[in-house]
């Protein structure tokens, strides 16, 4: 097991000094969704390259900044840029934003991502709330972080995604008249997009959307006791669902088109954070 407190000692003391407040909610912005940071009054922004020991993001559309912001009296830490397993990083590096969020005291984590749509009722531009997450391909790696799950670890997984937080998100979508889809987010390790055969396999096993992030972050986060939910922006039809060939450009272009709806939803979620549901 990796001792993250030891490993990230200087990173933590840097951030504990730099953080202007204890955040209520942490948000990790997925591919192409980074512009959401422009929607809030930013209190303070830190380049991840200035943080000792923080891995560099190598993916186009991931900026590598941590922002502190406030909206409707809720304090937010916003990760603009994610650390992916397919970039060659280790699991303890991928979950660093979750680890930081927990150390700074965030009670909620909203994970966002770009994903390929498998469910035939989804079209690019849809937003999907994860009603469950499939991490079959990544779960084993989590033993590096949490060891062999004891009673608490095992039990906390049952709250993933967090039911109250998911209710808040559904309510926020209703308030904003957003047709928020629901489904299972299925993790694949990448680094390439899937083959049509892999998508057929995932579909048979209940995946509605597919992507290369989120699930390990979510499991670790709920293990730490953070109320965790995930929203996918369906940026493309998954491989073989349509004839169209997949590219990262399609992913960022669709995310760009949907960014106003996404921003309206996330703002409404933050505003309603302290409603009864969560």
Binding site for ligand HPA (CB under 6 A): 114-116, 188, 193-194, 210-212, 235-236, 238, 246, 251
> Can you read off the two tokens belonging to residue 247?
């590219």
Name which of 27 and 215 has its Cβ closer to ligand HPA: 215
In the complex, the smallest distance separating the C-beta of residue 254 from ligand HPA, rounded to whole angstroms, is: 9
For residue 130, list its beta bridge partners.
183
> Can you read off the two tokens belonging to residue 121?
């009722």
In the complex, the smallest distance separating the C-beta of residue 136 from ligand HPA, rounded to whole angstroms, is: 15
Q: How far apart are alpha carbons 102 and 264 in whole angstroms? A: 26
Q: How far apart are alpha carbons 275 and 112 in whole angstroms? A: 21
Name which of 94 and 210 has its Cβ closer to ligand HPA: 210
In the complex, the smallest distance separating the C-beta of residue 63 from ligand HPA, rounded to whole angstroms, is: 17
Name which of 77 and 234 has its Cβ closer to ligand HPA: 234
In the complex, the smallest distance separating the C-beta of residue 115 from ligand HPA, rounded to whole angstroms, is: 5
Name which of 113 and 221 has its Cβ closer to ligand HPA: 113
> Can you read off the two tokens belonging to residue 108?
């909620």
In the complex, the smallest distance separating the C-beta of residue 100 from ligand HPA, rounded to whole angstroms, is: 24
Distance of CA 31 to the CA centre of its chain: 10
Q: How far apart are alpha carbons 166 and 216 in whole angstroms? A: 18
The residue behind tokens 């979750």 is 98
Q: How far apart are alpha carbons 226 and 28 in whole angstroms? A: 14
In the complex, the smallest distance separating the C-beta of residue 19 from ligand HPA, rounded to whole angstroms, is: 30
Q: Kindly give the residue spans of alpha helices, DSSP state H, lying in the chain.
A: 4-7, 9-18, 91-94, 96-104, 143-146, 151-156, 163-175, 196-204, 215-223, 248-257, 259-271
115: left (phi over 0), alpha (psi -120 to 50) or beta: beta
Give the side-chain half-sphere CA count within 13 A for 277: 16
Name which of 95 and 118 has its Cβ closer to ligand HPA: 118
Name which of 172 and 210 has its Cβ closer to ligand HPA: 210
In the complex, the smallest distance separating the C-beta of residue 53 from ligand HPA, rounded to whole angstroms, is: 27
Name which of 42 and 59 has its Cβ closer to ligand HPA: 59
Residue nearest to ligand HPA (CB): 116
């Amino acid at each position: 097991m990796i001792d993250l407190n030891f490993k990230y000692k200087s990173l933590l003391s840097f951030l504990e000094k730099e953080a202007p407040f204890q955040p209520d909610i942490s948000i990790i912005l997925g591919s192409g969704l980074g512009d959401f940071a422009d929607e809030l009054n930013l209190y303070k922004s830190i380049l991840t390259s200035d943080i000792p020991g923080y891995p560099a993001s190598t993916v186009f559309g991931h900026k590598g900044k941590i922002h502190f912001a406030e909206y409707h009296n809720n304090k937010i830490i916003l990760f603009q840029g994610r650390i992916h397993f397919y970039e060659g990083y280790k699991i303890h590096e991928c979950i660093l934003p979750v680890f930081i969020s927990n150390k700074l005291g965030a009670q909620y984590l909203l994970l966002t991502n770009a994903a390929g749509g498998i469910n035939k009722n989804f079209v690019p531009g849809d937003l999907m709330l994860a009603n469950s997450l499939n991490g079959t391909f990544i779960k084993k790696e989590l033993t590096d972080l949490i060891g062999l799950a004891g009673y608490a670890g095992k039990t906390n997984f049952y709250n993933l995604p967090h039911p109250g937080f998911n209710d808040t998100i559904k309510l926020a979508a209703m308030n904003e008249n957003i047709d928020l889809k629901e489904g299972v987010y299925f993790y694949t390790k990448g680094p390439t997009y899937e083959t049509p055969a892999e998508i057929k396999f995932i579909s048979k096993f209940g995946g509605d959307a597919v992507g290369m992030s989120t699930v390990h972050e979510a499991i670790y986060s709920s293990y730490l006791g953070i109320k965790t939910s995930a929203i996918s922006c369906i940026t493309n039809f998954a491989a073989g669902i349509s004839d169209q060939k997949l590219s990262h450009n399609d992913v960022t272009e669709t995310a760009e088109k949907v960014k106003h709806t996404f921003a309206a939803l996330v703002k409404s979620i933050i505003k309603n954070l302290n409603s009864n549901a969560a």
